[in-house]
Amino acid sequence: MTATEPARRAGQVLEPPPAAPIQAGRKRRSPTRPSPLLWLFVLPALLLYVVFFVGPTLFALQYSITDWDGISPSFGYVGTANYTELFTDDTIFRRALGNNLRFVLVVVVLQTVLSLLFAMLLVRNTRGSILLRALFFFPTILSSVSVAFVWSFVYDPNGGLLQEIGVPGPAQGWLGSEDTALYALAVTQVWFHTGQMLVVFVAGLQAIPAELYEAAELEGASGWQSFRHVTWPLVAPATAIVLAYTTIQSFKAFDLVFAMTQGGPNYSTEILATLIYNTAFVNFRFGYAAAESVVFMVLVGLVAWLQRRALRVEREA
Amino acid sequence: MHFLSRRRTARALPVLATLAALALTAGCAGGGGDGGDQQAADQKQTISFYHWRAEDKETFDALIKDFQAKNANITVEQSIFPSEQYQATAQTKIRDGSVGDVFTVFRGAQFESVAKAGLFADLTDEGFVDNYQESLIEPGRREGKQLGLPYQLVFNDPLYSKAAFAKAGVQVPTSWPAFLDTCRKLKSAGYIPVAFPGGDPNNAGQLLNTMVMNNLPADDGFAQLEQGKTKATDAWWVKTLTQYKQAQDAGCFAPNALGTKTDAALALFAQGKAAILPTGSFQVAAVRKQAPDLEIDLFAPITTETPGEAKYEGVYNATFILGVNARSAKQAAAKKFVEYLSDPANAATYANGTAQLVTVKDVKYDSPDLAFTEPWLTKKTLLAPRFQFTNLEIRSAIENSVIAVLGGKDPAQAATEAQKIVDEKR
C-alpha cells in the first residue's frame, strides 16, 4: 500500500507533488527516461548470457558447416554438406528424430494430464494434501543418475521390482525390448517430473477465485462443465508453462537415456540429445554434431512456438 | 531516478570497464596454454595418471608409493573415469592438459584419434620400449613411431565355470554343433548357459570377437568391411548372425538377455546361476571379488562344423595403451613413471595384483588367476577383431545387427539394415 492510498480511499482530490526547481543551465531528464547507468546492472547477466549462450550458439552455427573432428587444431569448411547428409543420408538421425518426437508426445501428454489431475485433487491446503504434494515433489530433488539407477532396478529382468511383484512384461525385459524400451523411459521421466509440474498447477488453481465456482454451481453447472468453462480457461497460463517446460525437458532427456539404455537396444531409444553426444564425443564428428544441434535447436523452438500459438488461440476462443 | 550524478558516472564507467576487461582477461588466461613454464627437473612435480581401471586402483596405489619413494621429487595422482565415460571424454581432457601427463587409451578408434591429434609424445627412442614383447606393442605404433605402449594382454574369450560344466557333464566344445549341444545340456542342468549382457552395448560386443574369428573372410575382415571391401550382407556376416540365432534357439541366452546389464550378468555367473560369462579375462578380478572360490577358465565358441576347420582357438587384445602427453610440461617425469611401470618386476606386481597378463617381457606370474590365462599365450589366437573398427558408428551398426537378431529380426534383414548404415557412415 502506498502513502497516498488512505487519502484516495477517503475521496480526497490529490494534488500532484510540487515540481523540483529547475537549475539554471542544466537540462532536466525526463522522469520516464531511464538512466543509461541502469545498463550496468544488466551487464553481469548479459555477459554471462553472451559468453555461455550466444557465443556457443554462434560457434555451433559456424562449426556446423565444417568437418572439424573436435580434436585437430584445423578444419575445413564443407558448406551445407552436413545438413544435406542429415536430411538425405542418415538413417540413425531420422530414427532418433522419430524416437524423440514419440518420447516428447508421450511425456507431455502423460505428465500434463497427471500433474493437473493430482493438482486438482490436492489443491486444498489441508495437512494431508501438503504432505502428499511434498511426496510427489520429492523425486524432483533427486539427481537424474540416481533416478536412472533406481528405475533400472525397477525394470531389471533379473529380480527387479516389477518382476518381483508379478507385473507381466516382455520376455527381454522392459528396457531390453525394442517395442517397450522408449515407453519405459518415458514413464521414468514422467515419474521424475510430475511433482514439479503439480506445484505449478496447484499455484494456478489456487489463484482461481472461489466465487466463480459458486456462481457455476448456482447456475447448475456439472463438475465437467465447471472444469471446462472455469478451471481450464483460468489455469491456461499455468498449462502454458507446464507444456513449454515439459516439452523442452523431454527433448533434453539425455541423462536418463544415457544411464539406462545408452540408446539401445538397436537404436530404439536413441534420441537427438544422445545422438549428438555420440556424434561429437564418441565418433568425433564435431562439425556434424553441430549441424545436428542446430536442427535440434530449431525443432525445439518450433514446437515451443506452436504450443504457445495453440494456447493463445484456445484462450482467445 | 538518478543513482549517480553525471560526473560520477563519467568516473565510474572507465573503472567498471577496466574491471570487466580484467575479469575477461583473467577468465581467458585460466584456460592455460601448452604449459610454457616448465619446471626444473629437480623441483617437486605432481603428474597425473589418467586411466579407466578403477579395479586396479589399489595395485597402482602400491606401485605409485614405491615409485615416489624412489623418485622423491615426483608425486603421481591417479585420475580414474569409468570406461564408457573415458571413451567419450579422454581426448578432450588430454588435449586441454587438465589431466593425463601419463594417460591410457583403448586400442582402435581411440588410439587412432589421439594419435591423429598429435597428443602422444614419441617414445620410439626410449630405452624402456625394449622391455616389451615387440609383436604385442604393434597396436601402439603408427607411421613407424612407437606412440603408445599397450600394457595389458587381455583375452576377450568367455569365462566358464568348471563346476557348472562338470555338473552338466559337458566338455569344452570345439565345434559349433558341440557348442549348441553344450548350451542345451547346461540349460537342462538348471543353468543359464550364457549370461549375455545384452543391456550393455560395450560388453555385449565382446562375444562378437570369438563368434566372428573363424568366420571372417580375412584376419582384418572388419577393417575391410569399414573400407567397403566386404559387406555386412556377405555370407560370412549373415552366417555369424544366423549362428547367434541358432544359439538363442538352443537356449544359450536367457530370454531376458537383452535387458541384462553387465553387473547382473557378472552376478549371475559369480553366484553359480550362469555357466558362461561372455566378456573376457579382464573381468576375472571382478568375478574373484564376488566368488573367491569359483573355479573358472577361458574358452571360445568355435563356429565351424568340425574342430579341424577352425583357424583360431580364441582372441587376444593388447590394450590399456600407455602414453605420455605431448602437451604436458612434465614429460620427463611422466616418462620416468612409464619407465617404472615397464620394469619387469613392477609389471609383475601389476599383473599379479590385478590378474591381468602384461606385454612386458620376463614377467613372473604367480597369481593363481593368471595360471589359467598364461597357457593362452601359446594358443592360436587372433588380435580381437572388434577393435579393428576405427569408425565407431560402423561398429555400432554391426553390433546392433546382433541385438536386432536376438530381438527377433531375421538375420538377412538385420544384415541389410546394418549395411545401409555402414554405407551412410563410411
What ipTM is given for this predicted complex? 0.78
For residue A202, the cross-strand partners are: none
| pLDDT bucket at A268, cuts 50 / 70 / 90 | very high
* DSSP 3-state of A158: coil
pLDDT in tens, B68-79: 999 999 999 999
pLDDT in tens, A188-234: 999 999 999 999 999 999 999 999 999 999 999 999 999 999 999 99
The closest of B376, B420, B378 to B397, measured between CA atoms, is: B420
Kindly determine whether residue A71 and residue B116, on different chains, have CB atoms separated by under 8 Å: yes
What value, to the nearest 5°, has the Cα angle with vertex A36 and ends A31 and A39? 120
Q: Which residue segment(s) compose the domain that B340 sits in?
A: 45-154+317-371
C-alpha A69 chain-centroid distance: 31
Residue B288 has pLDDT above 80, yes or no: yes
Q: Which three cell numbers stand for residue B12?
A: 565510474
Nearest CA-CA distance, residue B375 and chain A, Å: 35
Q: Which of A261, A266, A277 is nearest residue B407 as measured by Cβ atoms? A: A266
| Residue B274 placed within a domain | yes
Q: Give the CA distances from residue B292 to residues B120, B168, B190, B251, B285, in Å, rounded to whole numbers and listed in that order.
A: 39, 22, 22, 28, 9
CATH number of domain containing A144: 1.10.3720.10
The rounded distance, in Å, linking the Cα atoms of A45 and A49 is 6
Same domain as B169, residue B276: yes
Q: Give, as one character, the DSSP assignment of residue B211.
A: H
| Residue B292 placed within a domain | yes
| Residue A81 placed within a domain | no
Which chain A residue shows the shortest CA-CA distance from B199? A176
- Residues of chain A positioned with their CB less than 8 A from the CB of B403: 264-266
Contact between residue B342 and residue B277 where contact means Cβ atoms under 8 Å apart: no
The closest of B39, B48, B44 to B323, measured between CA atoms, is: B48
pLDDT in tens, B157-191: 999 999 999 999 999 999 999 999 999 999 999 99
For residue B159, the cross-strand partners are: B277, B298
| Residue A140 placed within a domain | yes
Kindly determine whether residue A157 and residue B259, on different chains, have CB atoms separated by under 8 Å: yes
Tell me how crowded residue A67 is: count the other CB atoms within 10 A of its CB.
16
For the entire predicted model, the pTM comes to 0.81
Residue B85 has pLDDT above 90, yes or no: no
Residue B286: CB partners within 8 Å, gap ≥ 6?
A: B55, B266
The closest of B278, B289, B255 to B187, measured between CA atoms, is: B255
Kindly determine whether residue A177 and residue B258, on different chains, have CB atoms separated by under 8 Å: yes
| Residue B32 placed within a domain | no
Q: Which of B81, B87, B249, B256 to mutate to test the interface with A (most CBs of A within 10 A)?
A: B256
| pLDDT bucket at B375, cuts 50 / 70 / 90 | confident
- The better pLDDT of the pair B216, A5 is held by B216
The closest of B39, B37, B40 to B29, measured between CA atoms, is: B37
Amino acid identity, position B53? R
Residue B34 has pLDDT above 50, yes or no: no
| Residue B377 placed within a domain | no
Kindly determine whether residue A71 and residue B113, on different chains, have CB atoms separated by under 8 Å: yes
Residue linked to cell 616418462: B335
The rounded distance, in Å, linking the Cα atoms of B16 and B325 is 41
- pLDDT, position B89: 77
Q: Which of A176, A278, A284 is nearest residue B199 as measured by Cβ atoms? A: A176
Contact between residue B104 and residue B151 where contact means Cβ atoms under 8 Å apart: yes
- pLDDT, position B145: 96
Same domain as B179, residue B145: no
Q: Give the CA distances from residue B215 to residues B63, B164, B211, B234, B235, in Å, rounded to whole numbers and listed in that order.
A: 42, 28, 8, 11, 9
- Residues of chain B positioned with their CB less than 8 A from the CB of A273: none
Contact between residue A258 and residue A147 where contact means Cβ atoms under 8 Å apart: no
First-last CA distance in chain B: 65
Q: Give the CA distances from residue A205 to residues A66, A193, A217, A233, in Å, rounded to whole numbers and listed in that order.
A: 50, 19, 17, 11
How many residues are given for chain A? 317
Q: Which three cell numbers stand for residue B170?
A: 559337458
- Residues of chain A positioned with their CB less than 8 A from the CB of B255: 171-172
Amino acid identity, position A104? V
| pLDDT bucket at B156, cuts 50 / 70 / 90 | very high
Residue linked to cell 589399489: B58
Number of domains in chain A: 1
- The better pLDDT of the pair B34, A286 is held by A286
Kindly determine whether residue B88 and residue A277, on different chains, have CB atoms separated by under 8 Å: yes
| Residue B203 placed within a domain | yes
Contact between residue B422 and residue B225 where contact means Cβ atoms under 8 Å apart: yes
Q: Which three cell numbers stand for residue B373?
A: 590365462
Residue B269: CB partners within 8 Å, gap ≥ 6?
A: B159, B161, B195, B275, B276, B277, B287
Amino acid identity, position B364? K
Number of domains in chain B: 2
Over pLDDT 70: what percentage of chain A?
Answer: 89
Tell me how crowded residue A16 is: count the other CB atoms within 10 A of its CB.
5
CATH number of domain containing B222: 3.40.190.10
Q: Which of A72, A95, A172, A281 to mutate to test the interface with B (most CBs of B within 10 A)?
A: A172
Helical spans, DSSP H, in B189-279: 201-204, 206-213, 221-227, 235-249, 262-270
Same domain as B349, residue B409: no
| Residue A131 placed within a domain | yes
Same domain as B170, residue B280: yes
| Residue A126 placed within a domain | yes
Same domain as B128, residue B205: no
| Residue A277 placed within a domain | yes
| Residue A137 placed within a domain | yes
Same domain as B115, residue B166: no
Q: Which of A158, A167, A178 to mutate to test the interface with B (most CBs of B within 10 A)?
A: A158
Q: Which of A26, A266, A281 to mutate to test the interface with B (most CBs of B within 10 A)?
A: A266
| pLDDT bucket at B23, cuts 50 / 70 / 90 | very low
| pLDDT bucket at B35, cuts 50 / 70 / 90 | very low
Same domain as B237, residue B92: no
Q: Give the CA distances from residue B79 to residues A2, A34, A168, B70, in Å, rounded to whole numbers and listed in that order.
A: 61, 53, 43, 21
- Residues of chain A positioned with their CB less than 8 A from the CB of B201: 262-264
Kindly determine whether residue A265 and residue B403, on different chains, have CB atoms separated by under 8 Å: yes
| Residue B312 placed within a domain | no
Nearest CA-CA distance, residue B353 and chain A, Å: 30
Same domain as B286, residue B172: yes
- pLDDT, position B93: 83
* DSSP 3-state of B76: strand
Q: Give, as one character, the DSSP assignment of residue B107.
A: T
Residue B396 has pLDDT above 60, yes or no: yes
Q: Which residue segment(s) compose the domain that A164 sits in?
A: 90-316
| Residue A68 placed within a domain | no
Same domain as B55, residue B189: no
Residue A249 has pLDDT above 50, yes or no: yes
The closest of B292, B115, B279 to B210, measured between CA atoms, is: B279
Interface residue ranges in chain A relative to chain B, Cβ cutoff 8 Å: 29, 35-37, 40, 43, 47, 69-72, 85, 89-92, 152, 155-158, 171-178, 261-267, 277-278, 281-284
- Residues of chain B positioned with their CB less than 8 A from the CB of A148: none
Kindly determine whether residue A92 and residue B393, on different chains, have CB atoms separated by under 8 Å: yes
Contacts 24+ apart (CB under 8 A), B20-28: B20/A43, B20/A47
Q: Give the CA distances from residue B37 to residues A185, B34, B40, in Å, rounded to whole numbers and listed in that order.
A: 50, 9, 9
- Residues of chain A positioned with their CB less than 8 A from the CB of B404: 178, 265-266
Of A60-74, A255-269, B127-141, B193-207, give the lowest mean pLDDT range: A60-74
Kindly determine whether residue B201 and residue A283, on different chains, have CB atoms separated by under 8 Å: no
| Residue A20 placed within a domain | no
Kindly determine whether residue B89 and residue A281, on different chains, have CB atoms separated by under 8 Å: yes
Residue B149: CB partners within 8 Å, gap ≥ 6?
A: B123, B129, B132, B137, B140, B321, B322, B323, B338, B342, B359
The rounded distance, in Å, linking the Cα atoms of B272 and A171 is 22
Q: Which of A37, A157, A284 is nearest residue B260 as measured by Cβ atoms? A: A157
Residue B321: CB partners within 8 Å, gap ≥ 6?
A: B104, B105, B106, B107, B111, B139, B140, B148, B149, B150, B151
| pLDDT bucket at A313, cuts 50 / 70 / 90 | confident
Same domain as B71, residue B172: no
State chain A's mean pLDDT as an integer.
88
Same domain as B283, residue B146: no
Q: Give, as one character, the DSSP assignment of residue B147.
A: -
- Residues of chain A positioned with their CB less than 8 A from the CB of B88: 277, 281-282
Nearest CA-CA distance, residue A102 and chain B, Å: 21
Same domain as B241, residue B168: yes
Of B122-131, B350-359, B370-379, give the lowest mean pLDDT range: B370-379
For residue A265, cis peptide bond before it (omega within 30 degrees of 0):
yes
What value, to the nearest 5°, has the Cα angle with vertex B416 and ends B412 and B418? 115
First-last CA distance in chain A: 36
